[in-house]
Amino acid sequence: MTRIRVGAAVLNQTPLDWRNNRANILAAIREAREREVRILCLPEMAVCGYGCEDALHSPGLPRTALEILGEIVAETRGMILSVGLPVLHRSGLFNTACVAADGRILGFVAKRFLASEGLHYEPRWFKPWPLGVADSIRCGGEEYPIGDVAFDCGGIKIGLEICEDAWVAKRPGGDMALAGVDVILNPSASHFAFGKFEIRKRLVTEGSRAFGVSYLSTNLVGNEAGRAVYDGGALLASAGRLLAAGPRFSYQPMQLTTAVIDVDATRMARARTGSYQPQIAGEGRRIACDFSFPEIEPDVSQPIAAAWESSPRMKEEEFTRALTLGLFDYLRKSGSRGFVVSLSGGADSSSVACLVALMVEMAAAELGPDEFNARLRHIPALKEAATDRQRVRALLSCAYQASRNSGPDTRCAAVSLAEALGAEMACWEIDELVADYTAKVEAVLGRELSWDRDDLALQNIQARVRGPGVWMLANVKGALLLATSNRSEAAVGYATMDGDTCGGLSPIAGIDKAFLRHWLRWLETEGPAGVHPIPALAAVNRLAPTAELRPREATQTDEADLMPYEVLDAIERAAIRDKQTPIDAFRRARAQFGQFSDEQLHLWVARFFRLWCRNQWKRERYAPSFHLDDENLDPKTWCRFPILSGGFERELEELAQYVESLKKS
């Protein structure tokens, strides 16, 4: 016996949805059995869902997870299975993977390194397991090993790295290799971020080479708990060679990826490595069980990537696929009956509307029209929808709300885009509402409001009176109102609270405006692989971004109010991502944007820092957004900042002095 068929299944799980999660796990086991898989790896915390948050503090949760585990283990005849769940042991909660074989539990491996930055807050709930320690736990009247343990199943030695364990400098896999492990399983819940899949691929492939093993890594897929989107992408490698890579951003509830590994080949590769020194004196805690592996033929197949994964526009492709999958899962898991968008004709709202339409087309293409409608069976309007265009109309309602300051170009852009997408479109005027509120406040103040004196208030009231109408439309339809603010606006508070921030979900709040404009131009002329472009975006892309809240003769634009978006995004990354001082942020901007004067860059850097500090309260109130990169501004999951602060006044004074000194040098 040298060759074994192994598999890694990605699952679309939901926190605390025991029935759905169990069904997906059992579906993976059934398909693995049909495909003669003998070792199957399932994702981290697959039983209860990874994103349970503080529900993990409930004693009932790990208890229920163990009950579900018992139902799953009974289905593992003729198979070795790893599946993740939380385990309460000695008054500590541990993130574990249960290893079962032939219908019985062998033991529990506990995660050693807990993810504790960015989106992750694992130390809030879990305890890290100490190196080299094994203990026993009693479940269902039986004693099982738990902790830093490995398994010997029919002579095949199996170890585990659980997600973050593989991302640290001193990976547990190194110790496993010295102990002679043949296969390392990595059950993960690794959220999507731009470019992250390539890092995961390197960790898996290089881990298999450096440790001289076969390596199986799996992941979640879809919008599991609301903010994080998981891209799937199971990876199987052996001795430094990638054997198989599963699909990413799939709309299916489960995807199984398999490969054939050759254990004798990896053992001999390790034996030929001069630096490998086997651990002769003791191998730590190893659990043995009888298991029979039938001999199978070699598999010479190669990993096949989807066409879009070789695209030179990878960021645009990933953005499209992550957000459309996120919207689809949010729609079906929330029970909403569609989406409502306040479509202004600008880049932000147009992006959101396009993403909904792309969601319909891409999901229906993969699932098939009947399965698409079945997955959203709670939406009555879909029952009569037979084409993608009809499905878009059933799911997307848009409204253009004009004031006297709105121009004909934005109205034309909004209406033509809605028509091109197939969305339901309504147009109405808001001037009467604005005038009514203005008159009431003027009566209280005893004076007329003027643009010279009351500019901000007169702008904001226009944005705010647009909120109730679209909220009402969403309520009547049982739909979800999508907010349209982007990340660049969030950084400086260039958004009206209870205006353009209205919504239950803010899908583009994690992406900068400069990229959105670039993406819309790409979508106009090219679009995602396998999907047609949207030429109607030409009318949107011709327009300079503007709130259209001041009188038309003011020719208001976003960048005139703020600064060029490319400059804003560069300063944000320096100041917030890299935590640089105003002087250091200015120096970087000076090196990057030499076309602007020192005085102009000084003005913009100081403006950014002041607006950032002044508007933290707005970021605290934003609707949930999708996580797209590891530079997020969401204060609930990534970037905490005080609502009240000193506003960098000392640092900005130092910057002013520094810029003044440059004039004299």
* Domain boundaries along the sequence of the chain: 3-296, 309-543, 564-665
Q: Cα–Cα distance between 175 and 551 in angstroms, integer?
A: 69
The whole-chain average pLDDT of the chain stands at 94
Helix axes 582-592, 649-664, angle to 10 degrees: 50
β strands within 583-642, DSSP E:
none
- Residue 339: its H or E element: strand 339-342
At residue 177, does pLDDT exceed 70?
Answer: yes
Burial category of 89 from C-beta neighbours within 10 Å (exposed 0-12, middle 13-18, buried 19 and up):
buried
Residue 319 has pLDDT above 60, yes or no: yes
Sorted by sequence, the CB contacts under 8 Å of residue 110 that are 6+ apart come out as 87, 94, 95, 96, 129, 146, 147, 148
Burial class (CB in 10 A: 0-12, 13-18, 19+), 224: buried
Other Cβ atoms closer than 10 A to 450:
9
Phi and psi at residue 6, to the nearest 5° = -120, 160
pLDDT of 556: 80
As a whole number, mean pLDDT of residues 240-245 equals: 96
**Type and span of the H or E element at 425:** strand 424-429
Q: Going by CATH, does the domain composed of 309-543 fall within 3.40.50.620?
A: yes
Strands (E) across 56-170 are located at 80-89, 92-101, 104-110, 134-139, 142-147, 149-153, 156-160
| Residue 476 CB-half CA count within 13 A | 7
Whether the predicted pLDDT of 636 surpasses 90: no
The domain made up of 564-665 has a fold known as: Rossmann fold (3.40.50)
Regarding beta strands 142-147 and 104-110, do their DSSP bridges make them parallel or antiparallel, or are they unpaired?
A: parallel
* pTM for the full predicted model: 0.95
Kind and range of the H or E run holding 442: helix 431-445
Mean pLDDT to the nearest integer, 519-548: 93
| Region 339-344 average pLDDT | 97
Q: How far is CA 547 from CA 150, 340, 382, 636, in A?
A: 60, 20, 34, 27
What does R_g of the chain's alpha carbons equal in angstroms? 28
Identify the pLDDT of residue 272: 83
The secondary structure element, H or E, covering residue 432 is helix 431-445
Q: Are 255 and 247 in contact (CB under 8 A)?
A: yes
**Whether the predicted pLDDT of 511 surpasses 90:** yes
Please give the average per-residue pLDDT across 304-330, as a whole number.
95
CA 458 to mean position of chain CA atoms:
37
Tell me what pLDDT residue 270 has.
Answer: 86
Question: Phi/psi class of residue 227: alpha, beta or left (left: φ > 0; alpha: ψ in -120 to 50)?
Answer: alpha
Q: Which residues contact 117 (CB under 8 A, 6 or more apart)?
A: none
What is the tens place of the pLDDT at every residue in 256-314?
999 999 999 999 988 887 677 777 655 568 899 999 999 888 887 788 888 899 899 99
Q: Does this chain's domain 3-296 share its CATH topology with 564-665?
A: no
Q: Indicate the fold that domain 3-296 takes in CATH.
A: Nitrilase/N-carbamoyl-D-aminoacid amidohydrolase (3.60.110)
Residue 1 clears pLDDT 70, i.e. is over it: no
Separation of alpha carbons 17 and 223, rounded Å:
14
The lowest-confidence range among 292-306, 341-355, 506-520 is: 292-306
- Give the model's pLDDT for residue 283: 54
